[in-house]
Amino acid sequence: VRESPGYQDLVTQNRLDENLIPKTENPVVRVAAVTIRAGRARSPVGAMEEGLIREIRVDRIKQAQEEEVWITGMKEYLSGSIADLTQAEARSYGKIAADYEVDEQDLLFYCPPRQDRGTIVTD
The pLDDT mean for the chain works out to 79
Count Cα atoms within 13 angstroms, Cβ side, for 4: 5
Whether the per-residue pLDDT at 117 is higher than 60: the answer is: no
Please indicate, yes or no, if residue 32 is contained in any of the structural domains.
no
pLDDT, residue 102, reads 94
Chain center to CA of 25: 50
Would residue 93 count as lying in a domain? yes
Q: Is the pTM of this model over 0.85?
A: no
pLDDT at residue 10 tops 80: no
Specify the DSSP element, H or E, that contains 18. helix 16-19
Strand segments, DSSP code E, in the chain are 100-102, 108-110
Q: How many separate domains does the chain show? A: 1
Q: Is the pLDDT assigned to residue 40 strictly greater than 70?
A: no
For residue 90, the model assigns a pLDDT of: 93
Q: Which domain holds residue 69?
A: 47-110
Confidence band, pLDDT 50/70/90 cuts, at residue 75: very high
HSE-CB of 41 using CA atoms within 13 angstroms: 4
Mean pLDDT of 74-81: 93
Whether residue 58 is contained in a domain is answered as yes
Q: For residue 70, tell me if it sits in a domain.
A: yes
Inside any domain, residue 52: yes
Query: What letter does residue 85 receive in the DSSP assignment?
Result: S
CA distance 75 to 55: 21
